[in-house]
Chains A and B, each alone.
Chain A
Amino acid sequence: MAAILLEGTPKTPTVSFDDNSGLLELKGRSIPENSIEFYKPLIDWIDRYARDPKPKTTLHMQLEYFNTSSSKCILDVFKKLELVRTTGNEVTVLWHYEADDEDMLEAGEDYQAIINLPFKMIQIEEVDNSGA
């Protein structure tokens, strides 16, 4: 399978899903009108990846903004990764939030409460939005 590399736009995040390293990254903003359309290929990719995953998978979430249209799609990304974990592989979610952004920290905690994956909350100075 091929890696996914998408450059960020003002409404969609930078995406880097690499099956060789097991490193997945969503960075920037996720505020499109139609999130289902944007996320479908990403979720399908994880579906395929889950059949032959790396022993260690790490998802970096580094979002500055996401809309509620993206919320359920992001949940689906996590749910697909739960499948990777149930087959005995290690999966970690690194949830980045800007130091002043307690709302983004709360959003990460909300996912953590629903999803059966280990989350690490990581405070950063600023989301690198240079791709957008």
Chain B
Amino acid sequence: MLDRVFDLYDTLEKQRIMLSFKGILSPELVTALLGLVERKMEAIEADPRIRKRVFNVVMECLQNLYHHNARIGLNENGEVKNDEPQGVVMIAHGERGYSVLTGNFMANGEVEGLKSQLDRVNGCEPEQLRDLYKETLNDGRYGKAGGGGLGLIDIARKSGHKLEYGFVPLDEDNAFFSLNVNVNA
């Protein structure tokens, strides 16, 4: 395990990861991570619009991760149940801007719904996204997190890029969902 510390460090360095976290995400930890993102962005990004967009995307991604989570983890013996949601978040800073990467386990039963939401958002041009946002805002439906489908639309609006995503099947109950959101500098 010890020799892998350098490999991990090297990988994070090469991928230009400015922040990474893997583990259990309590509301307090989300607050702490957001505070960290805010301070880092203030130090490295001069444009306040970009700072705010990255902060917004991280905030929505973390809250998605918090709410749409199978609450399981993996160890050497396989799947373990957690009371708290678990996941991974990384922010990379490259020449062209920022990438917010998140990943978490979710129930297979929710995969199709999420995939169709992502594809719908990715099929929209910026003005259509704005219309879809307003329409969803005013549809009177509340999801369990309160936003009722607004999260991904907002992420896509702030990003200005198509959302990159993938699902890795784990077993008959769960899959690993990963999302990459780019924000141009």
User: Hey, which chain B residues are within 8 Å of A7, CB to CB?
Assistant: none
User: Hey, which chain B residues are within 8 Å of A98, CB to CB?
Assistant: 48
A interface residue count range (under 10 / 10 to 19 / 20 to 34 / 35 or more): 20 to 34
Of B48, B146, B153, most A-chain CB atoms within 10 Å: B146
The reply on A42 being an interface residue by CB < 8 A is no
The prevalent SS among residues of A at the interface is helix
Report the interface size for chain B: residues with CB under 8 A from the other chain: 33
**A102–B66 CA distance with the chains assembled, in angstroms:** 28
At the interface with chain B, which of A18-26, A52-60, A67-75, A87-95?
Answer: A67-75
CB-based nearest A residue for B152: A68
Q: Known: A10-B35, A68-B147, A72-B142. Is A114-B137 also a contact (CB below 8 A)? A: yes
CB-based nearest A residue for B64: A68
Interface on A for B, CB 8 Å cutoff? 10-11, 31, 33-36, 65, 67-73, 75, 98, 100-103, 106, 110, 113-114
Interface on B for A, CB 8 Å cutoff? 27, 30-31, 34-35, 47-49, 52-53, 55-56, 59-60, 63, 66-67, 130, 133-134, 137-138, 142, 145-148, 150-151, 153-154, 157-158
